[in-house]
Amino acid sequence: MTNKTRTRSLLTLLLAGSTVATFAGQSARAQISPDALRESLRVAPRPGMMPHGGRLFPGSSLNGVPGFPLPTVHSQKAYDPQDSFTAKWTRADAMQIKAHSDTSVAAGQNSLPQQLVMPDVPADFPATNPDVWVWDTWTLIDKKANQFSYNGWEVIFCLTADKNAGYGFDDRHTHARIGYFYRRAGVPASRRPANGGWIYGGHLIPEGAQEQVFAGTDYTITAEWSGSMRLLDPTSNKVSLFYTDMAFNRNAAGQDITPSQAVITQSLGQIHADFNHVWFTGFTTHTPLLRPDGVLYQNGAQNPYYNFRDPFTFEDPQHPGVNYMVFEGNTAGQRGTADCTAEDLGYRTNDPHAETVQQVLSTGAYYQKANIGLAVAENSSLSKWKFLPPLISANCVNDQTERPQMYIKDGKYYIFTISHRTTYAAGVDGPDGVYGFVGNGIRSDFQPMNYGSGLMLGNPTDLNEAAGTDYDANPNQNPRAFQSYSHYVMPDGLVESFIDTVEGRRGGALSPTVKVRLRGDASVVDTRYGNNGLGGYGDISANRAAINVVGFIQDLISQKTLLSADTNTRMRSFLNTSQ
Protein backbone atom coordinates (compact mmCIF):
# COMPACT_ATOMS: atom_id res chain seq x y z
CA MET A 1 0.00 0.00 0.00
CA THR A 2 2.81 2.37 0.89
CA ASN A 3 4.57 1.70 -2.45
CA LYS A 4 1.39 2.47 -4.41
CA THR A 5 0.95 5.73 -2.51
CA ARG A 6 4.53 6.76 -3.22
CA THR A 7 4.14 5.86 -6.90
CA ARG A 8 1.00 8.01 -7.23
CA SER A 9 2.78 10.88 -5.47
CA LEU A 10 5.76 10.61 -7.80
CA LEU A 11 3.51 10.56 -10.89
CA THR A 12 1.67 13.62 -9.58
CA LEU A 13 4.94 15.51 -9.17
CA LEU A 14 6.17 14.47 -12.63
CA LEU A 15 2.92 15.54 -14.29
CA ALA A 16 2.94 18.85 -12.45
CA GLY A 17 6.54 19.47 -13.48
CA SER A 18 5.75 18.59 -17.07
CA THR A 19 2.81 21.01 -17.10
CA VAL A 20 4.92 23.84 -15.67
CA ALA A 21 7.67 23.15 -18.19
CA THR A 22 5.15 23.17 -21.04
CA PHE A 23 3.68 26.54 -20.08
CA ALA A 24 7.15 27.94 -19.48
CA GLY A 25 8.26 26.77 -22.93
CA GLN A 26 5.20 28.28 -24.58
CA SER A 27 5.84 31.57 -22.77
CA ALA A 28 9.46 31.63 -23.91
CA ARG A 29 8.50 30.83 -27.51
CA ALA A 30 5.97 33.64 -27.51
CA GLN A 31 8.82 36.08 -26.89
CA ILE A 32 10.94 35.07 -29.92
CA SER A 33 10.39 35.90 -33.57
CA PRO A 34 8.62 33.48 -35.94
CA ASP A 35 11.88 32.85 -37.84
CA ALA A 36 13.74 32.07 -34.62
CA LEU A 37 10.93 29.81 -33.48
CA ARG A 38 11.03 27.91 -36.74
CA GLU A 39 14.79 27.48 -36.42
CA SER A 40 14.40 26.23 -32.85
CA LEU A 41 11.98 23.51 -33.98
CA ARG A 42 14.38 22.06 -36.51
CA VAL A 43 16.11 18.87 -35.46
CA ALA A 44 19.68 18.05 -36.48
CA PRO A 45 20.07 14.58 -38.02
CA ARG A 46 21.85 11.76 -36.27
CA PRO A 47 24.77 10.33 -38.28
CA GLY A 48 23.46 8.18 -41.10
CA MET A 49 19.84 8.52 -39.99
CA MET A 50 16.93 10.88 -40.51
CA PRO A 51 15.92 12.87 -37.41
CA HIS A 52 13.96 10.75 -34.93
CA GLY A 53 15.63 7.73 -36.52
CA GLY A 54 14.06 5.41 -33.96
CA ARG A 55 10.66 5.75 -35.61
CA LEU A 56 9.66 3.19 -38.20
CA PHE A 57 8.68 5.91 -40.68
CA PRO A 58 10.80 8.89 -39.64
CA GLY A 59 10.45 10.62 -42.99
CA SER A 60 6.98 11.99 -42.29
CA SER A 61 8.28 15.08 -40.44
CA LEU A 62 8.56 18.35 -42.36
CA ASN A 63 10.36 20.37 -39.66
CA GLY A 64 13.59 20.66 -41.65
CA VAL A 65 17.11 20.93 -40.20
CA PRO A 66 19.25 23.88 -39.11
CA GLY A 67 21.03 25.77 -41.85
CA PHE A 68 18.75 24.62 -44.68
CA PRO A 69 15.49 25.93 -46.11
CA LEU A 70 12.20 24.31 -45.18
CA PRO A 71 10.55 22.13 -47.85
CA THR A 72 7.76 23.57 -49.94
CA VAL A 73 4.24 23.16 -48.59
CA HIS A 74 2.29 20.68 -50.76
CA SER A 75 -1.39 20.00 -50.08
CA GLN A 76 -1.68 16.65 -51.93
CA LYS A 77 -4.99 18.06 -53.22
CA ALA A 78 -6.40 16.23 -56.23
CA TYR A 79 -7.42 18.01 -59.44
CA ASP A 80 -9.27 16.80 -62.49
CA PRO A 81 -6.81 14.94 -64.77
CA GLN A 82 -7.72 17.37 -67.57
CA ASP A 83 -6.80 20.37 -65.40
CA SER A 84 -3.74 22.50 -66.19
CA PHE A 85 -2.28 22.29 -62.66
CA THR A 86 1.28 20.93 -62.54
CA ALA A 87 2.89 20.05 -59.20
CA LYS A 88 6.48 21.15 -58.67
CA TRP A 89 9.42 19.26 -57.26
CA THR A 90 11.15 22.40 -56.07
CA ARG A 91 14.67 23.32 -55.11
CA ALA A 92 13.49 23.73 -51.51
CA ASP A 93 12.23 20.13 -51.66
CA ALA A 94 15.36 18.66 -53.25
CA MET A 95 17.61 20.46 -50.77
CA GLN A 96 16.15 18.27 -48.02
CA ILE A 97 18.25 15.39 -49.37
CA LYS A 98 21.47 17.21 -48.59
CA ALA A 99 19.99 18.60 -45.38
CA HIS A 100 19.41 15.09 -44.03
CA SER A 101 22.77 13.75 -45.20
CA ASP A 102 25.53 13.21 -42.65
CA THR A 103 28.51 15.53 -43.14
CA SER A 104 30.74 13.64 -40.69
CA VAL A 105 31.13 10.26 -42.38
CA ALA A 106 34.56 9.14 -43.53
CA ALA A 107 35.24 9.68 -47.23
CA GLY A 108 33.65 7.04 -49.41
CA GLN A 109 31.07 5.91 -46.87
CA ASN A 110 27.31 6.38 -47.07
CA SER A 111 26.04 9.76 -45.90
CA LEU A 112 22.37 9.14 -46.69
CA PRO A 113 19.73 8.05 -44.14
CA GLN A 114 20.09 4.30 -43.85
CA GLN A 115 16.36 3.58 -44.07
CA LEU A 116 16.33 5.09 -47.58
CA VAL A 117 19.38 3.24 -48.91
CA MET A 118 19.49 0.05 -50.97
CA PRO A 119 21.62 -2.58 -49.18
CA ASP A 120 25.06 -3.33 -50.62
CA VAL A 121 25.07 -5.53 -53.73
CA PRO A 122 27.91 -8.11 -53.53
CA ALA A 123 30.78 -7.57 -55.96
CA ASP A 124 30.64 -11.25 -56.99
CA PHE A 125 27.13 -10.93 -58.44
CA PRO A 126 26.13 -13.52 -61.08
CA ALA A 127 25.41 -12.68 -64.72
CA THR A 128 21.78 -12.98 -65.72
CA ASN A 129 22.78 -14.26 -69.15
CA PRO A 130 26.19 -14.95 -70.74
CA ASP A 131 25.30 -13.45 -74.13
CA VAL A 132 23.36 -10.25 -73.46
CA TRP A 133 23.51 -7.33 -71.07
CA VAL A 134 20.19 -6.52 -69.46
CA TRP A 135 19.08 -3.24 -67.93
CA ASP A 136 15.61 -1.58 -67.82
CA THR A 137 13.17 -4.33 -66.83
CA TRP A 138 9.35 -4.53 -66.63
CA THR A 139 6.64 -7.17 -66.26
CA LEU A 140 3.40 -8.42 -67.79
CA ILE A 141 0.67 -6.28 -66.17
CA ASP A 142 -3.03 -5.54 -66.46
CA LYS A 143 -4.73 -2.15 -66.30
CA LYS A 144 -4.32 -2.11 -62.49
CA ALA A 145 -0.59 -2.95 -62.63
CA ASN A 146 -1.15 -6.46 -61.29
CA GLN A 147 1.75 -8.69 -62.28
CA PHE A 148 0.77 -11.82 -64.21
CA SER A 149 2.21 -15.21 -64.94
CA TYR A 150 0.91 -16.85 -68.11
CA ASN A 151 -0.02 -20.53 -68.23
CA GLY A 152 2.43 -21.39 -65.49
CA TRP A 153 5.32 -19.15 -66.56
CA GLU A 154 6.58 -15.84 -65.16
CA VAL A 155 7.72 -13.44 -67.88
CA ILE A 156 9.77 -10.25 -67.83
CA PHE A 157 10.91 -7.82 -70.52
CA CYS A 158 14.31 -6.13 -70.56
CA LEU A 159 16.39 -3.85 -72.69
CA THR A 160 19.17 -6.07 -74.00
CA ALA A 161 22.34 -5.67 -76.03
CA ASP A 162 24.77 -8.22 -77.45
CA LYS A 163 27.84 -8.65 -75.23
CA ASN A 164 29.84 -10.05 -78.14
CA ALA A 165 29.09 -7.48 -80.84
CA GLY A 166 32.27 -5.46 -80.33
CA TYR A 167 30.90 -2.36 -78.59
CA GLY A 168 31.26 -1.60 -74.88
CA PHE A 169 28.72 -1.63 -72.08
CA ASP A 170 28.31 2.17 -72.19
CA ASP A 171 27.56 2.09 -75.93
CA ARG A 172 24.65 -0.31 -75.49
CA HIS A 173 21.89 2.33 -75.69
CA THR A 174 22.00 2.81 -79.46
CA HIS A 175 21.93 -0.97 -79.91
CA ALA A 176 19.13 -1.68 -77.43
CA ARG A 177 16.55 -4.32 -78.28
CA ILE A 178 13.61 -5.41 -76.15
CA GLY A 179 14.19 -9.00 -75.07
CA TYR A 180 12.14 -11.31 -72.90
CA PHE A 181 12.93 -13.87 -70.21
CA TYR A 182 10.78 -16.53 -68.57
CA ARG A 183 10.85 -19.10 -65.77
CA ARG A 184 8.46 -21.48 -64.04
CA ALA A 185 5.97 -19.73 -61.78
CA GLY A 186 5.68 -20.65 -58.14
CA VAL A 187 9.23 -21.88 -57.62
CA PRO A 188 10.58 -20.51 -54.31
CA ALA A 189 13.76 -18.48 -54.42
CA SER A 190 15.60 -21.14 -52.43
CA ARG A 191 15.15 -23.60 -55.32
CA ARG A 192 16.22 -21.24 -58.10
CA PRO A 193 19.73 -20.77 -59.50
CA ALA A 194 21.66 -17.89 -57.94
CA ASN A 195 21.00 -15.60 -60.93
CA GLY A 196 17.24 -16.03 -60.59
CA GLY A 197 16.86 -18.79 -63.17
CA TRP A 198 15.59 -16.56 -65.96
CA ILE A 199 15.72 -18.17 -69.43
CA TYR A 200 16.42 -15.81 -72.33
CA GLY A 201 13.78 -16.10 -75.05
CA GLY A 202 15.30 -13.66 -77.57
CA HIS A 203 14.08 -10.42 -79.13
CA LEU A 204 10.43 -9.50 -78.88
CA ILE A 205 10.14 -7.39 -82.05
CA PRO A 206 11.02 -8.91 -85.45
CA GLU A 207 14.22 -7.51 -86.93
CA GLY A 208 13.67 -4.03 -88.42
CA ALA A 209 9.90 -3.96 -87.84
CA GLN A 210 10.05 -0.82 -85.67
CA GLU A 211 11.77 1.15 -88.46
CA GLN A 212 8.40 1.68 -90.20
CA VAL A 213 7.71 4.49 -87.71
CA PHE A 214 10.58 6.52 -89.21
CA ALA A 215 9.74 6.06 -92.88
CA GLY A 216 10.68 9.17 -94.88
CA THR A 217 13.12 10.51 -92.27
CA ASP A 218 16.91 10.48 -92.08
CA TYR A 219 18.49 8.06 -89.64
CA THR A 220 21.51 5.78 -89.42
CA ILE A 221 20.49 3.43 -86.61
CA THR A 222 17.38 2.64 -84.60
CA ALA A 223 16.87 1.29 -81.09
CA GLU A 224 14.07 0.09 -78.85
CA TRP A 225 13.83 1.78 -75.45
CA SER A 226 11.75 1.22 -72.35
CA GLY A 227 8.03 1.00 -71.90
CA SER A 228 5.44 -1.39 -70.46
CA MET A 229 3.54 -4.53 -71.48
CA ARG A 230 -0.25 -4.75 -71.01
CA LEU A 231 -2.08 -8.07 -70.86
CA LEU A 232 -5.28 -6.95 -72.55
CA ASP A 233 -7.43 -9.78 -71.20
CA PRO A 234 -6.26 -12.32 -68.59
CA THR A 235 -8.38 -15.00 -70.32
CA SER A 236 -6.71 -14.50 -73.72
CA ASN A 237 -3.16 -14.27 -75.03
CA LYS A 238 -3.36 -10.77 -76.53
CA VAL A 239 -0.79 -8.27 -75.30
CA SER A 240 0.00 -4.65 -76.10
CA LEU A 241 3.54 -3.32 -75.99
CA PHE A 242 4.02 0.39 -75.31
CA TYR A 243 7.64 1.43 -75.84
CA THR A 244 9.95 4.22 -76.99
CA ASP A 245 11.00 3.87 -80.62
CA MET A 246 14.32 5.65 -81.21
CA ALA A 247 16.13 6.72 -84.36
CA PHE A 248 19.61 8.29 -84.45
CA ASN A 249 21.20 10.16 -87.34
CA ARG A 250 24.95 10.14 -86.67
CA ASN A 251 28.23 10.43 -88.54
CA ALA A 252 31.06 7.92 -88.42
CA ALA A 253 32.44 9.55 -85.26
CA GLY A 254 29.14 9.00 -83.46
CA GLN A 255 28.15 12.68 -83.45
CA ASP A 256 24.54 13.67 -84.12
CA ILE A 257 23.89 15.14 -87.56
CA THR A 258 20.33 15.91 -86.53
CA PRO A 259 18.62 15.40 -83.16
CA SER A 260 17.47 11.90 -82.33
CA GLN A 261 13.82 11.01 -82.85
CA ALA A 262 11.83 9.59 -79.94
CA VAL A 263 8.32 8.27 -80.58
CA ILE A 264 6.08 6.58 -78.03
CA THR A 265 4.77 3.61 -79.97
CA GLN A 266 2.31 0.71 -79.63
CA SER A 267 2.63 -2.77 -81.09
CA LEU A 268 0.25 -5.71 -80.61
CA GLY A 269 1.23 -9.34 -80.20
CA GLN A 270 0.36 -12.67 -78.65
CA ILE A 271 2.01 -14.63 -75.86
CA HIS A 272 2.36 -18.43 -76.13
CA ALA A 273 3.52 -21.18 -73.79
CA ASP A 274 3.80 -24.95 -73.70
CA PHE A 275 5.43 -27.32 -71.22
CA ASN A 276 8.93 -26.22 -72.15
CA HIS A 277 9.07 -22.56 -73.06
CA VAL A 278 7.40 -19.21 -73.76
CA TRP A 279 7.36 -17.41 -77.09
CA PHE A 280 5.65 -14.47 -78.79
CA THR A 281 4.14 -13.77 -82.18
CA GLY A 282 3.02 -10.52 -83.78
CA PHE A 283 4.65 -7.14 -83.12
CA THR A 284 4.93 -6.59 -86.86
CA THR A 285 2.81 -3.42 -86.99
CA HIS A 286 4.01 -0.39 -85.02
CA THR A 287 1.67 2.53 -84.43
CA PRO A 288 3.21 5.88 -83.46
CA LEU A 289 1.21 7.32 -80.56
CA LEU A 290 2.97 10.47 -79.36
CA ARG A 291 5.78 12.74 -80.50
CA PRO A 292 6.92 15.68 -78.32
CA ASP A 293 4.94 18.72 -79.37
CA GLY A 294 7.19 21.60 -78.29
CA VAL A 295 4.16 23.14 -76.52
CA LEU A 296 3.81 21.00 -73.41
CA TYR A 297 6.86 18.80 -73.93
CA GLN A 298 10.25 19.87 -75.22
CA ASN A 299 11.28 18.49 -78.60
CA GLY A 300 14.51 18.12 -80.58
CA ALA A 301 14.15 21.49 -82.27
CA GLN A 302 14.15 23.17 -78.85
CA ASN A 303 16.80 20.96 -77.27
CA PRO A 304 18.87 18.28 -79.05
CA TYR A 305 19.27 16.59 -75.64
CA TYR A 306 15.53 16.45 -74.86
CA ASN A 307 14.01 13.50 -73.00
CA PHE A 308 10.80 11.86 -74.17
CA ARG A 309 10.30 8.18 -73.36
CA ASP A 310 9.17 5.37 -71.02
CA PRO A 311 5.37 5.03 -71.40
CA PHE A 312 3.48 3.36 -68.54
CA THR A 313 -0.29 2.88 -68.98
CA PHE A 314 -3.00 2.27 -66.40
CA GLU A 315 -6.69 2.76 -65.63
CA ASP A 316 -7.64 5.07 -62.79
CA PRO A 317 -10.19 3.58 -60.34
CA GLN A 318 -11.57 7.12 -59.87
CA HIS A 319 -12.26 7.26 -63.63
CA PRO A 320 -13.38 3.73 -64.62
CA GLY A 321 -12.82 2.88 -68.26
CA VAL A 322 -10.40 5.77 -68.86
CA ASN A 323 -6.80 4.84 -69.66
CA TYR A 324 -3.89 7.14 -68.87
CA MET A 325 -0.20 7.12 -69.64
CA VAL A 326 2.67 8.64 -67.70
CA PHE A 327 6.03 9.20 -69.37
CA GLU A 328 9.28 11.12 -69.03
CA GLY A 329 9.51 14.54 -70.63
CA ASN A 330 11.09 17.96 -70.36
CA THR A 331 9.35 21.30 -69.92
CA ALA A 332 8.80 22.85 -73.35
CA GLY A 333 10.90 25.85 -74.35
CA GLN A 334 14.20 26.70 -75.96
CA ARG A 335 17.22 25.17 -74.26
CA GLY A 336 19.24 27.77 -72.40
CA THR A 337 16.37 30.17 -71.81
CA ALA A 338 16.65 31.37 -68.21
CA ASP A 339 13.01 31.07 -67.25
CA CYS A 340 12.81 29.37 -63.84
CA THR A 341 10.42 31.11 -61.46
CA ALA A 342 10.01 31.63 -57.73
CA GLU A 343 7.44 28.79 -57.81
CA ASP A 344 10.11 26.43 -59.20
CA LEU A 345 12.34 27.36 -56.27
CA GLY A 346 9.50 26.84 -53.78
CA TYR A 347 10.90 28.69 -50.76
CA ARG A 348 8.59 29.81 -48.00
CA THR A 349 8.13 33.51 -47.35
CA ASN A 350 11.00 35.01 -45.36
CA ASP A 351 12.93 31.74 -45.16
CA PRO A 352 16.43 32.94 -44.18
CA HIS A 353 18.04 30.14 -46.20
CA ALA A 354 16.19 30.80 -49.46
CA GLU A 355 17.93 31.60 -52.75
CA THR A 356 16.70 34.36 -55.02
CA VAL A 357 15.66 33.61 -58.57
CA GLN A 358 18.63 35.59 -59.85
CA GLN A 359 21.06 33.62 -57.69
CA VAL A 360 19.74 30.36 -59.12
CA LEU A 361 19.73 31.60 -62.72
CA SER A 362 23.33 32.75 -62.37
CA THR A 363 24.40 29.13 -61.74
CA GLY A 364 22.96 27.88 -65.04
CA ALA A 365 20.45 25.66 -63.23
CA TYR A 366 17.82 26.55 -65.86
CA TYR A 367 19.27 23.90 -68.20
CA GLN A 368 17.61 21.24 -66.03
CA LYS A 369 13.89 21.02 -66.92
CA ALA A 370 12.60 17.51 -66.23
CA ASN A 371 8.92 16.70 -66.00
CA ILE A 372 6.58 13.74 -65.76
CA GLY A 373 4.04 13.83 -68.56
CA LEU A 374 0.46 12.63 -68.83
CA ALA A 375 -1.65 11.50 -71.77
CA VAL A 376 -5.16 10.05 -72.05
CA ALA A 377 -6.37 7.38 -74.48
CA GLU A 378 -9.02 8.48 -76.95
CA ASN A 379 -10.16 5.01 -78.03
CA SER A 380 -10.62 1.56 -76.52
CA SER A 381 -7.84 -0.02 -78.59
CA LEU A 382 -5.35 2.36 -76.94
CA SER A 383 -4.02 3.34 -80.36
CA LYS A 384 -4.85 7.05 -80.13
CA TRP A 385 -3.70 9.33 -77.30
CA LYS A 386 -3.86 13.00 -76.41
CA PHE A 387 -1.34 15.01 -74.42
CA LEU A 388 -2.39 16.52 -71.11
CA PRO A 389 -0.28 19.00 -69.11
CA PRO A 390 2.60 17.53 -67.08
CA LEU A 391 1.89 16.08 -63.64
CA ILE A 392 5.17 17.19 -62.06
CA SER A 393 7.92 19.56 -63.18
CA ALA A 394 11.46 19.81 -61.83
CA ASN A 395 12.64 23.04 -63.43
CA CYS A 396 16.01 24.20 -62.06
CA VAL A 397 16.15 20.94 -60.06
CA ASN A 398 16.85 17.95 -62.31
CA ASP A 399 16.93 17.06 -65.99
CA GLN A 400 15.74 13.44 -65.89
CA THR A 401 12.69 11.81 -64.33
CA GLU A 402 12.93 8.45 -66.05
CA ARG A 403 10.55 5.47 -66.15
CA PRO A 404 7.68 7.03 -64.16
CA GLN A 405 5.02 4.74 -62.73
CA MET A 406 1.65 5.38 -61.10
CA TYR A 407 1.24 3.22 -57.99
CA ILE A 408 -2.07 3.30 -56.07
CA LYS A 409 -2.11 2.12 -52.46
CA ASP A 410 -4.49 2.74 -49.55
CA GLY A 411 -6.30 5.41 -51.53
CA LYS A 412 -3.08 7.33 -52.20
CA TYR A 413 -1.56 7.94 -55.63
CA TYR A 414 2.20 7.53 -55.78
CA ILE A 415 4.40 8.54 -58.68
CA PHE A 416 7.75 6.79 -58.67
CA THR A 417 10.54 7.84 -61.00
CA ILE A 418 14.29 7.32 -61.24
CA SER A 419 17.04 9.87 -61.62
CA HIS A 420 20.81 10.30 -61.56
CA ARG A 421 23.05 12.29 -59.28
CA THR A 422 24.74 13.73 -62.36
CA THR A 423 21.49 15.18 -63.77
CA TYR A 424 20.80 17.48 -60.81
CA ALA A 425 21.03 21.22 -61.33
CA ALA A 426 23.78 23.28 -59.73
CA GLY A 427 23.16 23.80 -56.02
CA VAL A 428 21.08 20.67 -55.36
CA ASP A 429 22.21 17.08 -54.97
CA GLY A 430 20.93 13.56 -54.53
CA PRO A 431 21.89 9.94 -55.29
CA ASP A 432 21.10 7.65 -58.18
CA GLY A 433 17.86 5.92 -57.26
CA VAL A 434 14.08 6.08 -56.90
CA TYR A 435 12.17 9.26 -56.10
CA GLY A 436 8.57 9.25 -54.92
CA PHE A 437 5.67 11.71 -54.76
CA VAL A 438 2.25 11.21 -53.17
CA GLY A 439 -1.15 12.81 -53.72
CA ASN A 440 -4.87 12.13 -53.64
CA GLY A 441 -5.41 11.58 -57.35
CA ILE A 442 -3.73 11.25 -60.74
CA ARG A 443 -3.23 15.01 -60.89
CA SER A 444 -2.39 16.33 -57.45
CA ASP A 445 -0.26 18.83 -55.65
CA PHE A 446 2.14 15.92 -55.18
CA GLN A 447 4.21 15.97 -52.01
CA PRO A 448 7.77 14.66 -52.35
CA MET A 449 8.22 11.75 -49.97
CA ASN A 450 10.46 11.48 -46.90
CA TYR A 451 10.88 14.87 -45.26
CA GLY A 452 9.63 16.51 -48.44
CA SER A 453 12.84 15.53 -50.25
CA GLY A 454 11.50 13.09 -52.86
CA LEU A 455 14.16 10.47 -52.11
CA MET A 456 12.70 6.99 -51.60
CA LEU A 457 15.49 4.51 -52.38
CA GLY A 458 19.05 5.59 -53.18
CA ASN A 459 22.33 3.84 -53.77
CA PRO A 460 24.82 4.16 -50.88
CA THR A 461 26.43 7.51 -51.66
CA ASP A 462 28.70 10.05 -49.99
CA LEU A 463 27.17 13.42 -50.87
CA ASN A 464 30.25 15.08 -49.36
CA GLU A 465 32.34 13.74 -52.25
CA ALA A 466 32.10 14.46 -55.98
CA ALA A 467 29.93 12.04 -57.89
CA GLY A 468 32.27 10.70 -60.55
CA THR A 469 30.48 8.45 -63.04
CA ASP A 470 29.75 4.78 -63.32
CA TYR A 471 32.39 4.45 -66.06
CA ASP A 472 34.94 6.89 -64.55
CA ALA A 473 34.69 6.45 -60.81
CA ASN A 474 35.82 8.97 -58.21
CA PRO A 475 38.16 6.93 -55.95
CA ASN A 476 36.93 8.89 -52.93
CA GLN A 477 33.29 8.08 -53.62
CA ASN A 478 31.38 5.11 -52.22
CA PRO A 479 32.19 2.16 -54.55
CA ARG A 480 28.47 1.32 -54.74
CA ALA A 481 27.18 4.78 -55.61
CA PHE A 482 26.25 3.40 -59.05
CA GLN A 483 25.52 -0.17 -57.99
CA SER A 484 22.00 -0.26 -59.40
CA TYR A 485 19.64 1.78 -61.53
CA SER A 486 16.35 1.79 -63.45
CA HIS A 487 14.30 0.63 -60.49
CA TYR A 488 10.83 -0.74 -61.19
CA VAL A 489 8.32 -0.78 -58.31
CA MET A 490 6.15 -3.90 -58.22
CA PRO A 491 3.12 -5.02 -56.18
CA ASP A 492 3.67 -5.23 -52.41
CA GLY A 493 6.51 -2.70 -52.61
CA LEU A 494 9.06 -5.02 -54.22
CA VAL A 495 11.63 -3.13 -56.29
CA GLU A 496 13.73 -4.56 -59.12
CA SER A 497 16.67 -2.85 -60.87
CA PHE A 498 19.78 -3.72 -62.85
CA ILE A 499 23.39 -3.78 -61.71
CA ASP A 500 25.49 -1.01 -63.20
CA THR A 501 28.81 -0.85 -61.30
CA VAL A 502 29.90 -2.50 -58.04
CA GLU A 503 33.47 -1.86 -56.84
CA GLY A 504 34.53 -1.14 -60.41
CA ARG A 505 32.90 -4.24 -61.90
CA ARG A 506 30.40 -3.40 -64.62
CA GLY A 507 27.05 -5.13 -64.56
CA GLY A 508 24.33 -5.54 -67.14
CA ALA A 509 22.58 -8.07 -64.90
CA LEU A 510 19.46 -8.15 -62.74
CA SER A 511 20.00 -6.76 -59.24
CA PRO A 512 18.80 -8.38 -56.05
CA THR A 513 15.20 -7.40 -55.38
CA VAL A 514 14.48 -5.23 -52.35
CA LYS A 515 11.26 -4.28 -50.59
CA VAL A 516 10.04 -0.84 -49.55
CA ARG A 517 7.30 -0.24 -46.99
CA LEU A 518 5.06 2.77 -47.58
CA ARG A 519 2.93 4.75 -45.17
CA GLY A 520 1.53 8.04 -46.36
CA ASP A 521 4.38 10.31 -47.39
CA ALA A 522 7.13 8.19 -45.80
CA SER A 523 8.91 4.94 -46.62
CA VAL A 524 11.57 2.59 -45.27
CA VAL A 525 13.60 -0.26 -46.71
CA ASP A 526 12.20 -3.48 -45.27
CA THR A 527 15.21 -5.24 -43.72
CA ARG A 528 13.06 -8.28 -42.88
CA TYR A 529 12.89 -9.13 -46.58
CA GLY A 530 15.58 -11.47 -47.92
CA ASN A 531 18.95 -11.25 -46.19
CA ASN A 532 18.89 -8.02 -44.17
CA GLY A 533 16.85 -6.38 -46.92
CA LEU A 534 18.56 -7.89 -49.95
CA GLY A 535 16.44 -10.45 -51.79
CA GLY A 536 17.33 -12.84 -54.58
CA TYR A 537 18.67 -11.70 -57.95
CA GLY A 538 15.70 -10.93 -60.17
CA ASP A 539 13.21 -12.08 -57.54
CA ILE A 540 10.29 -10.94 -59.71
CA SER A 541 7.20 -12.95 -58.87
CA ALA A 542 3.68 -12.65 -60.23
CA ASN A 543 0.82 -11.77 -57.90
CA ARG A 544 -1.82 -12.94 -60.41
CA ALA A 545 -2.06 -15.96 -62.74
CA ALA A 546 -3.51 -15.91 -66.25
CA ILE A 547 -4.74 -19.38 -67.25
CA ASN A 548 -5.77 -19.70 -70.89
CA VAL A 549 -6.64 -23.38 -71.42
CA VAL A 550 -7.78 -22.99 -75.02
CA GLY A 551 -4.64 -21.06 -75.89
CA PHE A 552 -2.50 -23.63 -74.12
CA ILE A 553 -3.98 -26.50 -76.14
CA GLN A 554 -3.52 -24.53 -79.36
CA ASP A 555 0.10 -23.87 -78.44
CA LEU A 556 0.66 -27.57 -77.72
CA ILE A 557 -0.79 -28.43 -81.12
CA SER A 558 1.41 -25.86 -82.84
CA GLN A 559 4.48 -27.39 -81.18
CA LYS A 560 3.33 -30.95 -82.00
CA THR A 561 3.50 -31.98 -78.35
CA LEU A 562 -0.19 -32.58 -77.66
CA LEU A 563 -0.06 -36.29 -78.49
CA SER A 564 3.26 -37.15 -76.84
CA ALA A 565 3.24 -40.13 -74.47
CA ASP A 566 3.66 -38.13 -71.29
CA THR A 567 1.19 -35.34 -72.14
CA ASN A 568 -1.35 -36.34 -69.48
CA THR A 569 1.26 -36.45 -66.73
CA ARG A 570 2.76 -33.12 -67.78
CA MET A 571 -0.69 -31.53 -68.09
CA ARG A 572 -1.54 -32.51 -64.52
CA SER A 573 1.81 -31.10 -63.38
CA PHE A 574 1.16 -27.88 -65.30
CA LEU A 575 -2.29 -27.42 -63.75
CA ASN A 576 -0.93 -28.03 -60.26
CA THR A 577 1.89 -25.51 -60.78
CA SER A 578 -0.50 -22.91 -62.17
CA GLN A 579 -2.94 -22.96 -59.29
Instruction: Please give the torsion angle defined by the CA atoms of residues 519, 523, 526 and 532, in that order, rounded to the nearest 10 degrees.
Output: -160
Given 102, 274, 344, 402, the catalytic residue: 402
Q: How far is CA 33 from CA 23, 40, 64, 414, in A?
A: 18, 10, 18, 37
Q: How far is CA 416 from CA 311, 318, 448, 467, 549, in A?
A: 13, 19, 10, 23, 36
Q: How far apart are CA 327 and CA 296, in angstroms?
A: 13
Q: Is position 378 annotated as part of the catalytic site?
A: no
Say if residues 424 and 400 touch (Cβ distance below 8 Å). no
Q: How far apart are CA 111 and CA 539, in angstroms?
A: 28
Say if residues 230 and 150 touch (Cβ distance below 8 Å). no
Where are the alpha helices (H) located in 79-143, listed in sequence order? 91-99
Which amino acid makes up residue 302? Answer: Q
Given 93, 102, 120, 136, the catalytic residue: 136
Q: How far is CA 323 from CA 5, 72, 365, in A?
A: 68, 31, 35
Sign of CA dihedral 6, 7, 11, 17: positive
Q: How far apart are CA 92 and CA 96, in angstroms?
A: 7
Among 68, 115, 63, 60, smallest CA distance to 91 is for: 68
Q: Is position 402 annotated as part of the catalytic site?
A: yes
Active site residue ranges: 136, 402
